[in-house]
Structure 1
Amino acid sequence: MSSPPILPISVTSLYKSSIASPALRAFASRSSDSLRRAFARRRPWTELADHTAFSRPDTLAVAASRVRKNASYFRVNYLTVVAAEHPVVVYGRTFSDAETLGVLIALTVIVFFLTSVGSLLLWAALVGSAIVCVHGAFRVPEDLFLDDQEQMGPGLFSYVGGAASSAAVAAVPSVVISRA
């Protein structure tokens, strides 16, 4: 007695791409390239924290100029610091994620009932901006631009805009209309 013949089974669903449309695939590819280019612009951390390059600005205009130059030069480093997920260390003691979360929840509840949510968000943005401005104002930028060949746009997120617009243009199918 022979066994029945083996039926061929196709499993094409396993081999399909997780990104369905070509437009979405192009967008993901361009976004990935944009992030790679952005992190390639990150400056060395020793250069960011070089204490010999700090000095008190003479005037408010000098401080504002330093903030603009340093924000443009260290933008990726600043964004990395803000988005970091490293454990919290205070006086040599490392706090676990659960402890940090518990303290943050307790502080959030206290602050939520003592203030309004809008002012809380405003303070968070102001503190982050103040940290960037203090570093930018006190960091002397004279030696930063010697090796830069390309001109950067203004703003902290300027490297994102170009890739997003080019990805949107690539995602739109081109239609050719001819008149006969």
Structure 2
Amino acid sequence: MPATSASASASTVPPASYTTLPISGGAVISRSTQNLSACLSRTRPWPEFLATTAVIDLPPSLSEAAHRLRRNASHFSVNYAVIVTACAAVSLIGAPIALIVISFVFFLWLILHFFREDPFLIRGYHVNDWAVILGLVLVSIAAFWITGPLNNLSIGIGVGLLIFVIHGVLRNPQGLFLDENDAVSEGLVTSLSNASSPVTAEFNSINPCK
């Protein structure tokens, strides 16, 4: 009988509810800025990126060229992003107003979309992610319509992407350090959970995300 009473009491207990603490817009931007800074800190050393002529050669086949491009894109992803951004900025030097406006819009995309992890609140109301994207798209369209730098910006981005492709194909990735995911895909490590393996321990020590 006591067991029955206990079970009946348990059945009447409402389920636990969990709430998240509201985060101010300033805190959201601050955390996004920290995420952006952490991403930029993973930039590979530029001497390693530039390397020497000893690691620059033509790939023997198209498949090898694709393999090099994929490996270099994974290893130097932040470096390539910096180069494309720098080329885009250089293309707008002749239009300083456009450079300032487009840079601000680009910063908004990074902070409010790409590097944002927390819900975005305005006066206590949660703003849907799609609403944030729509707002950023409208702001971007307005910025391009007002400043009109689309042609120059397209050329700058195109030059940056061309540098990325040329470097990614000609830079021989042999000898570059791999992270754990690359090591597993290449068959060099059989399991990420095998911490006792000296090879895995070595990759853990060089993985920048650890």
Structure scoring higher RCO (CA < 8 A, sep ≥ 6) equals 1
The TM-score, its normalising length taken from structure 1, stands at 0.48
The TM-score, its normalising length taken from structure 2, stands at 0.42
